[in-house]
């Protein structure tokens, strides 16, 4: 594996992983609402599932899902519902006592987000479909290498989104700005949910019958 391969891989994968999507918008919202340290369980959950998806797709799940695309569409429906739940979680009014007890988000929240995140699955499919054939002579080593590269890029990118959300909070620390942020990030999550819903034919089956 030479430098040309790595640069080509980055040129394809960086825009896919860094671009706004369900996971990245959630990272920014978590960074703004929870801070960097308390957002780490979310990061661990999402990136753990990313690794598992890499092994599943790399070792044969991709072929199965190509024949059953409804499986991805069904996951997307669950993702839309869960994003709406998270938007409510970040936007709902906090009781006064919560000021001394910051909200929490667990590794399980991250795992659910990524399992239902169709963009994440597509990123993994894209990576293997483009780059695995170029290293086919390395067989299993290729799969592990690509998963390792993807994991490093995921961790660094996701930390950037968390830090971005956290920086917005520190930059605008007055009460009015904080109220605006508590609206902006939930609306961002809702916008992603609506975009996914409009892209999913399952939501419109009844209109086609």
Identify the pLDDT of residue 72.
58
Question: Considering the domain boundaries, does residue 2 fall inside one?
Answer: no
Question: Considering the domain boundaries, does residue 14 fall inside one?
Answer: no
Question: Considering the domain boundaries, does residue 139 fall inside one?
Answer: yes
Question: Considering the domain boundaries, does residue 13 fall inside one?
Answer: no
Distance CA 1, CA 142 (A): 9
pLDDT digits (tens, 9 = 90+) for 11-31: 888 888 888 777 888 898 888
Give the total number of structural domains in the chain. 1
Q: What is the pTM of this model?
A: 0.71
Question: Considering the domain boundaries, does residue 24 fall inside one?
Answer: no
Identify the pLDDT of residue 43.
95
* Domain of residue 83, residue span: 36-208
Identify the pLDDT of residue 71.
63
Question: Considering the domain boundaries, does residue 30 fall inside one?
Answer: no
Identify the pLDDT of residue 156.
95
Question: Considering the domain boundaries, does residue 97 fall inside one?
Answer: yes
């Amino acid at each position: 594996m030479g430098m040309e391969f790595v640069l080509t891989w980055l040129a394809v994968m960086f825009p896919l992983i860094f671009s706004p999507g369900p996971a990245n918008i959630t990272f920014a919202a978590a960074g703004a609402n929870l801070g960097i340290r308390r957002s780490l369980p979310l990061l661990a959950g999402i990136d753990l599932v990313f690794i598992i998806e890499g092994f599943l797709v790399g070792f044969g799940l991709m072929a199965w899902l190509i024949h059953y695309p409804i499986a991805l569409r069904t996951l997307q429906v669950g993702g839309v519902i869960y994003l709406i739940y998270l938007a409510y979680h970040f936007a709902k009014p906090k009781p006064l006592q919560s000021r001394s007890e910051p909200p929490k988000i667990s590794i399980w929240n991250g795992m659910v987000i990524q399992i239902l995140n169709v963009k994440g699955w597509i990123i993994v499919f894209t990576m293997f479909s483009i780059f695995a054939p170029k290293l086919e002579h390395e067989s299993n080593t290729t799969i592990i290498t690509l998963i390792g590269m993807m994991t490093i890029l995921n961790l660094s990118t996701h930390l950037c989104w968390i830090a971005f959300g956290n920086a917005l909070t520190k930059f605008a620390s007055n009460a009015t700005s904080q109220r605006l942020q508590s609206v902006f990030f939930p609306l961002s999550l809702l916008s992603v949910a609506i975009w996914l819903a409009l892209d999913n034919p399952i939501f419109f089956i009844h209109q086609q019958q």
